Amino acid sequence: MAYQDYEIVIGLEVHSELKTHTKIFCGCTTAFGGDPNTHCCPICTGMPGTLPVLNGKVVEYAIRAGLATNCKINQFSKQDRKNYFYPDLPKAYQVSQYDLPLCYEGAVDIELGDGVKTIGITRIHIEEDAGKLLHGSGEGTLVDYNRCGVPLIEIVTEPDLRSPEEVRIFMEKLRTILLYSDVSDCRMNEGSLRCDVNLSVRKKGAKEFGTRTEMKNINSFNFATKAAEYEAKRQIKVLEEGGTIIQETRRWDEERGMTVSMRSKEEAHDYRYFPEPDLMPIVTTDGTLETIRKSLPEMPDARKSRYLEKYQLTAYDADLIVASRNMADFFETAAVASKNPKLVANWIISEVFSRLNEDQKEEGAIPFGPDMLAKLVNLIEGGTISNSIGKKVFAILWDTGKDPETIVREEGLTQISDDSALRAMALEVIAGNPKPVADYQGGKEAAIQSLVGQMMKRTKGKANPKMVLDLLKELLAGQR
Amino acid sequence: MKITREEVERVAHLARLNLTEKEKEQMTRDMEAIIGFADQINSCDIHDVKPTAHIIPINNVFREDVVVASMDREQLLENAPNQEQGCFSVPQVVE
């Protein structure tokens, strides 16, 4: 199969649930879970005669997301009905936006191995989420409308992505941006961030796009990547065998590791959009736009370049830290309070990340404040404790939240830098270990490490290792 | 404006309506009359008229993002033709 002869073209439609307290058109809670149909009212279950009223926060959050992805804003926007019959949508139409989405023509930069690539954002519009279908005991399908009416933004990209890997990098970047803008929890396991992958292939150099297929509702970056990989190969195989691609909706089957055709609904694309008569247009003044713009925090790209410049972090370390706004905020506060920001970054990347990983906690779940990490770093930087004692203090800090200075005092962990005490101990160690001493004297330099180890053991790791080494060398040289 | 029988059938299908042959005939004539009536608007000069999203000149009707109590589930499901395990039960959806 001539896989290399083809170019993969991918565009995404990303759905993100907004973190409002209430649904888009009624006061029902958006809380995840809850017994079926307990977060519902006549409006979100589409009872006849009810009227929707738009949640103002939805507009604000959508505009925030738009500004964060460099979109233009339609200052005159409206909502439209998208008509289709499916039991997850009790009104038989979804209130969405058709020709005047709140945001349009944006761009998101992603970093690839060979440089930065700009992915165009076609539009961002607001709409309502649908309910959930469950399997009943018998023939029937059960419907839970708790999620029905939860506000969504749909972010549509240009067909700018060229590989499954680019899909993964873009999705991670978009998630970071949405978290920074504080508009969505982006919890993929709760379905608050999911995407449809539109994919086609064409011979390299071809001008026209190939026929595309759409894979719906993929709720993990991993699945999106795998689905795109599989689907690209499938399409190339079909074309290589002289077949044609049918424009259809496919579904990613994780268990079988393949995409499968969904029953094609012949009228699926005849949504007969028309302006929603029950909802008034949305007008955003320059003043409102400016207020929202000012309330946005510094975005990850800007933060990263600042960290490179101000704190001399490596690009790799900076990427890891800015990937989460909570972590970046934590780092920055600790960096300012510490004498060595780069060391703070090292501690976050090694110890903090691995503990969060061990405990399976999210980035925001560090059980102590940034000032505590700064204190720990300062104790090491100032020579009060060694790096290895630092790890011990870190473990206690993590479990108890106690001030590192208190921990060092209570546990008696202060580094021993007292020359005379160490000297006496070193003489004892030399006297008690004739073999390594002889080895060292005989030219085996490494043998001295065993003596250093003895010293560290006797001092329970509290001796200043550099000092111990120098001291032993000095004493052994004198005995030669 | 001429409405064909196929158009009537398509619209009926989209609206999930089962029409008898007689109704289809009737509907073809009715739709033609309705569309013809609405078609008069095409003879108006709308050169200076902005597209209208809504006939009432009101914008930005927003609600505060404050949770109010949802409906009691029993009451919510009261009129459902079928219910099971606290859910609306509908004919099986094949995917």
Q: For residue A150, give the nearest of A121, A182, A184, A196 by alpha carbon.
A: A184
Q: Which stretches of A7-77 are DSSP H helices? A: 56-68
Residues of A in contact with B84 (CB under 8 A): 136-137, 140, 142
Output Rg (C-alpha) for chain B, integer angstroms. 22
Residue A352's SS3 state is: helix
Whether the predicted pLDDT of B94 surpasses 70: no
| CA A54 – CA A466 distance, rounded (Å) | 67
Average pLDDT of the residues of chain A: 90
Assess whether pLDDT exceeds 90 at residue A184: yes
Contacts with A23 from chain B: Cβ below 8 Å: none
**Per-residue pLDDT tens digits for A18-38:** 999 999 999 999 999 899 999
Per-residue pLDDT at A269: 66
Residues 6+ apart with CB under 8 A from A114: none
pLDDT tier at B46, thresholds 50, 70, 90? confident
Cβ count near A239 (within 10 Å): 20
Average pLDDT over residues A323-332: 91
Provide the angle, in degrees to the nearest 10, between the axes of the packed helices A448-458 and A465-479: 130
Mean pLDDT of A236-244: 92
Contact A140 B85 (CB under 8 A): no
Interface of B with A (CB under 8 A): 13-14, 16, 53-54, 56, 58-68, 70-71, 73, 76-77, 82, 84-95
Secondary structure of residue B90 in the 3-state scheme: strand
pLDDT above 70 as % of chain A: 97
For CA atoms A435, A441, A447, A448, give the dihedral sign: positive
| Helices assigned H by DSSP within A46-147 | 56-68
Q: What is the pLDDT of residue A267?
A: 47
The CATH classification number of A419-479 equals 1.10.10.410
**Are A37 and B87 an interchain contact pair (Cβ–Cβ within 8 Å)?**
yes
Indicate the residue of B67, B70, B93 with minimum beta-carbon distance to A87.
Answer: B93
Nearest CB to B70: which of A40, A263, A283?
A40
Structure tokens at A51: 């009227």
- For the cut 60, the answer to whether the pLDDT of residue B95 exceeds it is no
pLDDT range class, residue A58, cuts 50, 70, 90:
very high
Q: How confident is the model at residue B15 (pLDDT cuts 50, 70, 90)?
A: confident
A126 beta partners: A153
Chain B nearest CA to A364, separation (Å): 25
For residue A414, the model assigns a pLDDT of: 76
CB contacts < 8 A, A to B, total 129
More confident site: A24 or A458: A24
- Residue A1: pLDDT band (50, 70, 90) is low
Comparison of pLDDT for A362 and A78, the residue scoring more:
A78
Confidence grade of residue A264 (pLDDT, cut at 50, 70, 90): low
**Structural domains in chain B plus CATH codes:** 5-39 (1.10.20.60)
Residue of B nearest to A260 (CA): B95
Average pLDDT over residues A306-314: 92
Q: Which amino acid is at A337?
A: A
Cβ–Cβ under 8 Å, residues A139 and A202: no
Residue whose structure tokens are 């597209």: B51
Neighbours of B78 (CB within 10 A): 10
Beta bridge partners of A282: A77
Better pLDDT: A52 or A428:
A52
CB-based contacts of A393: which residues, under 8 Å, 6+ apart? A376, A379, A385, A404, A407, A408, A411, A413
Residues 6+ apart with CB under 8 A from A204: A5, A6, A7
Domain residue spans in chain A?
3-288, 298-402, 419-479
The amino acid at A426: A
Q: How confident is the model at residue A263 (pLDDT cuts 50, 70, 90)?
A: low
What is the average per-residue pLDDT within A423-437? 87
Cα within 13 Å of Cα(B35), Cβ side: 12
- Under DSSP, the state recorded for B69 is -
- Examine the pLDDT at A364 and tell me if it is beyond 80: no
Supply the ipTM of this predicted assembly: 0.89
Average pLDDT over residues B53-77: 94
**Contact present, B87 and B93 (Cβ < 8 Å):** no
Find the farthest-apart pair of alpha carbons in chain A and give their distance in angstroms, rounded: 101
